[in-house]
């Protein structure tokens, strides 16, 4: 208990926990839409594709400010998305292959640029690599402020376009027939998802960001059939695992924050998949057993069709 109160008063812990919680909320909300639209792996693709943008922004603008680097990440993430979409549209190559190709090529380009920067003796490139693996412990108050502002804008957009996004997610044909432009909505939503991914990069890194986008949403999906409940739960799951992961990594020596957060959120997913009422695995087992018992007790009709 003593360590815990000490932890809560610790400035670094407060900053990192706040950042991780914000990230959890943002990725939880937007991840819900990504998962429902079956674009879960887009997060993986975009976060890998952000690397060349980060390095290029550093080379061209010569600044290591979070804002500059994130801007570069955003541009190259969007470019990668554009490439993927046009490959799928103009060839017979499927989405998954296009995604795998584009993200690995972009990541390769990022590495090339990174080695190019490293040769340059004047520039101290330290800090660029944290975008590959993510380092929540380097989060500063400025970064938190940026996350909060971006997050507020994103949440407000979700709130404003709630009806449109909902309709578009579940029945895009119907949305189109009502006169909504699916192209523009798709673009807006994709743009927002990309922005959410980019925000998370420096906390959990390229590789683990996809989990933050997918896992809270998948866990929330098990507990409800209502979109707003799912989005709300997903945000809570994201925030809780952000804080829990940060706390675990502060309390234990040599426990990296990003992976700790991912393990926390994965535990929530496992619990949800097993325990959720109505949908969960345990409930289904129970129901099957009950049905079998009922069948035995009351007897089945002899000519039940068998599959």
Let me know: does 232 contact 50? Beta carbons within 8 Å.
no
CA 42 to CA 190: how far, in whole Å? 9
* Site membership for other proteins, residue 97 (CB under 8 A): yes
Q: Assess contact for 157 and 192: CB atoms under 8 A.
A: yes
Q: By CB under 8 A, name the one of 7, 59, 101, 188 that touches other proteins.
A: 101
Considering the rule CB under 8 A, would residue 283 count as an interface residue with other proteins? no
Comparison of 146 and 197: residue with beta carbon closer to other proteins: 197
Q: Is residue 109 part of the contact set for other proteins (CB under 8 A)?
A: yes
| Among residues 1, 3, 9, 119, the one that binds other proteins under rule CB under 8 A | 119
CB burial class (10 A; 0-12, 13-18, 19+) of residue 126? Answer: exposed
Q: What is the 3-state secondary structure (H, E, C) of 68-110?
A: HHHHHHHHHHHHHHHHHHHHHHHCCCCHHHHHHHHHHHHHHHH
Q: Does 98 bind other proteins (CB under 8 A)?
A: yes
Query: Which is nearer to other proteins, 51 or 146 (by Cβ)?
Result: 51
Tell whether residue 19 is a contact of other proteins (CB under 8 A). no
As a whole number of angstroms, the distance between CA 186 and CA 220 comes to 23
Task: Give the pair of three-digit tokens for residue 261.
Answer: 């957060």
Minimum CB distance to other proteins, residue 212 (Å): 8
Nearer to other proteins, 61 or 93 (CB): 93
Number of residues that bind other proteins (CB under 8 A): 62
- R_g of the chain, CA atoms, integer Å: 22
Nearest approach in angstroms of CB 284 to other proteins is 9
Burial of 41 (0-12, 13-18, 19+ CB in 10 A): middle
For residue 21, the minimal CB distance to other proteins (Å) is 18
Q: CB of residue 252 vs other proteins: minimum separation in angstroms?
A: 8
What is the footprint of other proteins within residues 29-88 (CB under 8 A)?
35, 38, 40-41, 43-44, 48, 87
Residue 260, interface with other proteins (CB under 8 A)?
Answer: yes
Pick one of 145, 281, 285, 295: the residue that binds other proteins (CB under 8 A).
281
Least distance (Å) between residue 57 CB and other proteins: 18
Q: Is residue 247 part of the contact set for other proteins (CB under 8 A)?
A: no
Restricting to residues 157-196, which ones interact with other proteins according to CB under 8 A?
none
**Which residues contact other proteins by CB under 8 A?**
35, 38, 40-41, 43-44, 48, 87, 90-94, 96-116, 119, 132-133, 207-208, 210-211, 213-215, 217-218, 221-222, 254-256, 258-260, 262-263, 266, 269, 273, 279-281
């Amino acid at each position: 208990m003593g360590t815990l109160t000490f932890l809560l008063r610790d400035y670094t812990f407060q900053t990192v926990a706040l950042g991780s919680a914000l990230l959890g909320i943002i990725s939880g909300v937007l991840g819900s839409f990504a998962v429902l639209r079956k674009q879960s792996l887009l997060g993986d693709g975009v976060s890998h594709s952000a690397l060349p943008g980060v390095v290029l922004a550093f080379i061209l603008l010569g600044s290591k400010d979070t804002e500059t680097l994130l801007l570069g990440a955003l541009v190259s993430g969007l470019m990668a998305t554009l490439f993927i979409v046009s490959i799928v549209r103009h060839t017979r190559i499927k989405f998954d292959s296009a995604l795998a190709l584009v993200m690995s090529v972009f990541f390769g380009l990022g590495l090339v640029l990174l080695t190019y920067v490293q040769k340059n003796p004047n520039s101290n490139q330290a800090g660029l690599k944290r975008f590959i693996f993510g380092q929540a412990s380097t989060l500063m108050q400025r970064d938190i402020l940026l996350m909060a502002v971006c997050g507020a804008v994103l949440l407000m957009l979700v709130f404003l376009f709630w009806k449109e996004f909902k309709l578009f997610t579940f029945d895009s044909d119907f949305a189109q027939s009502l006169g909504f432009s699916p192209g523009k909505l798709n673009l807006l939503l994709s743009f927002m998802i990309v922005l959410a991914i980019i925000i998370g990069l420096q906390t959990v890194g390229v590789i683990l960001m996809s989990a933050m986008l997918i896992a809270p949403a998948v866990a929330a999906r098990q507990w409800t059939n209502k979109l707003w409940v799912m989005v709300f739960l997903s945000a809570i799951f994201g925030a809780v695992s952000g804080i829990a992961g940060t706390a675990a990594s502060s309390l234990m020596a040599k426990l990296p924050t990003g992976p700790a957060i991912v393990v926390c959120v994965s535990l929530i997913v496992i619990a949800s998949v097993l325990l959720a009422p109505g949908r969960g695995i345990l409930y289904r087992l129970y129901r099957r057993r009950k049905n079998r018992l009922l069948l035995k007790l009351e007897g089945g009709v002899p000519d039940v069709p068998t599959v």
